[in-house]
Structure 1
Amino acid sequence: MPTFVHYLWILLTLLVSVTCTYSLLQPEWFIHPDFIHSFGVYAYCLRDFRYTHARQICGYYGGQFGFSNVPSKAWKAASLLYGGGSMFLCISCLFTLISLCIRRGCDTIVILMTSYLQTAAVVFLMCGILSFPFGLSSDYFRHYCGESASIFHSDICSVGWAYMLAIVGTALSVFCPILSHFVDTSKDESSVIKTDV
């Protein structure tokens, strides 16, 4: 029978996999002070000049979803790393649910494999978050956020909510492989031997 820690581990894995995947697809990793221009890993938002008032239009870099359209090599690396980490978390989420359904004895193997997968996901997510600011020195980013933008300095642009959500999701994902070591499915109340003192 699954324990409270097992359910907590499943819930946390589900939470961080949804959080990290959602933040990956959002264009608000860095935001211009006008709150119209924003830049993400795969998508961006710009001002639509067809209207007299400021209106935001969002889309993928290059007009379509594709790795080759991302304007910076650092952002390509971040998309591979953070995207890979998010994918590993989603796969580990499925494995945590499978660990509920399989018989005792086999579940420890699934839990151990999931723990390793979650550890790899955390490493990929952290590397993706740390590599994204290296793209702030690209010509594309400097065009919108100022010529003095450089690595880890965004000039007039600021960190957006999606980048902060990615950081929080990654920070919480650190606890997934830790919790997996406390998931003990081998013990339940019926197998405990009572001794008289």
Structure 2
Amino acid sequence: MKIRSWSWSTSWAVVGLWAGVTLAVALASLTALFTPTWFVRYTPLPTIQFGVWTWCVGGGEQVQQQLCASVGQSVGDVPGALPSAVWVIVGALYGGGGALLAVTGLAATLMPLLSNSQSVFALAQVAGNIQMAAVFLQSLGLVLYPLGLGSHFSRLHCGDEATLYNAGHCQLGYGYMLALVATVLAAYCPVLARLITYKDYDADTWSNANIM
């Protein structure tokens, strides 16, 4: 009986691409998380910028006078306010997703040390599933963050019009956009993980099994 046998093979070019993209989006995600420019108020002066954990007073032409503090603390003569509890959750969700991406990216760089393609396949499957979870956590964090715009802190600096999913006098900043782009690109990481290994079919062989 004529049968075809196969074995797992590894595409090291895809491994390199996967590792590079994963580490890049992990770095972008963690950078965005600690960037206090998720929302910005340009007028009236002074400029107000705030993110998940920190906020700053000054910016633009006032860069030299920019002062920052944790959300909730006062900055100079500008009073702070208690942050939204939602932002604490967002920090855990988005930061956790970024940490998972970083771990899987480091794991990808260790793949050349594995002894065979089956081990590479197993690691890629596990890492890909972890990355899917990371993308979900980050997406959830981005969806939840605007809920905090209804907090006392946001109304204090963005006006009384600020409410859930309404930034009032504030505008989206590049920090939130960087977080959004990083999450979109991270969605490609689990796809690349599935393409690392493939079935390599051997030449047709003959078996000695009797055909009934």
TM-score range, shorter chain: 0.7 to 0.9
Q: What stretches of structure 1 of length at least 5 have no aligned partner?
A: 64-68
1:14 maps onto 2:26 in alignment = no
Poorly superposed stretches of 4+, deviation over 6 Å: none
Does the 8 A contact of 2:36 with 2:56 survive in 1? yes
Q: Which of structures 1 and 2 has the larger relative contact order (alpha carbons within 8 angstroms, sep 6+)? A: 2
Q: CA RMSD in A?
A: 2.6
**Structure 1's 53 and 91: CA in aligned 2 closer, same or farther, altered over 3 A?**
closer
Paired residues, number = 184
Q: 1:36 aligns with which of 40, 47, 69?
A: 47
Per-residue CA distance 1:72-121 (angstroms, 9 max, x = gap): 11111111110111111111111111223211121211111100110010
Does the 8 A contact of 1:142 with 1:149 survive in 2? yes
Q: Which has the higher strand share?
A: 2
In structure 1, how many angstroms separate the alpha carbons of the residues matched to 2:66 and 2:39? 15
Higher Cα Rg: structure 1 or 2?
Answer: 2
User: In the alignment, what sits opposite 2:77?
Assistant: none
In structure 2, how many angstroms separate the alpha carbons of the residues matched to 1:46 and 1:112? 45
SS at 1:165's partner residue?
A: helix
Q: What stretches of structure 2 of length at least 5 have no aligned partner?
A: 1-9, 74-80, 205-212
SS at 2:67's partner residue?
A: strand
Deviation at 1:61, TM superposition (A): 2.8
How does 1:1-197 map onto structure 2 within 5 Å? Answer: 2-34=11-43, 36-47=47-58, 55-62=65-72, 71-104=83-116, 105-184=118-197, 187=200, 193=203
**Structure 1's 53 and 77: CA in aligned 2 closer, same or farther, altered over 3 A?**
closer
TM-score, with normalisation over the residues of structure 2? 0.79
In structure 2, how many angstroms separate the alpha carbons of the residues matched to 1:82 and 1:180? 21
Residue identity in the other structure for 2:30: T
Deviation at 1:46, TM superposition (A): 1.8
Paired-residue identity, %: 28
